[in-house]
Structure 1
Amino acid sequence: MHDESQSRQEWSASVCSMVAAELRRGASRGILTTEEARQVTNRFLVLLDQALDLPSFRVNTGSADPWDAAAR
C-alpha cells in the first residue's frame, strides 16, 4: 500500500505542476488574472487531496505556494 500511495503522490504532484503551468500560461496571455489562476490551482490541490486521500501536497513540496512547484 505504501508504494501505491507514493505513486499516487508522485502522480498528483506531476498533475498539479502541469495544471499550474498551464494556468500560469493563461495568466501570461491575459486569459485570466494571476490571482484567478492561483485560486484555481489552490482549489485543484484540495480536489486532488480529497480524491486521492493523500497527505497535503503542499506539505510534501516544502512550499505553501503550488506555483513554486510548477516552476521546478
Structure 2
Amino acid sequence: MFENLFSDELANRLGTTVEIATDNNLIEGILVNVSGDLVLTIDVNDGYGTGNQMYLSVDSINYVRFPTAAA
C-alpha cells in the first residue's frame, strides 16, 4: 500500500531536483518519470558527465529528499 502512495507522491513532483538514497548510492538529479515500480532521474552531476539516466526500483529507495535553494 505504501509503495503506491509513495509513487503517487513522486509523480506529483516531476521536474523537481531530488536526492534519492539507496543502500549503495546517493543519486542527485531531476525527477523525470515515475511508472509502476520504476523511478527515472536524469543525473545532474555524477562526475562522469551530465544527462545520465538512472532507473531505480521503488523498492530500492531508502529515502527521497527535495533540496531547496538557499534564499
TM-score, normalized by length of structure 1?
Answer: 0.24
Larger helix proportion of the pair: 1
TM-score, normalized by length of structure 2?
Answer: 0.24
Larger strand proportion of the pair: 2
Higher RCO by CA contacts (8 Å cutoff, separation 6 or greater): 1
Structure exhibiting the larger radius of gyration computed from Cα positions: 1
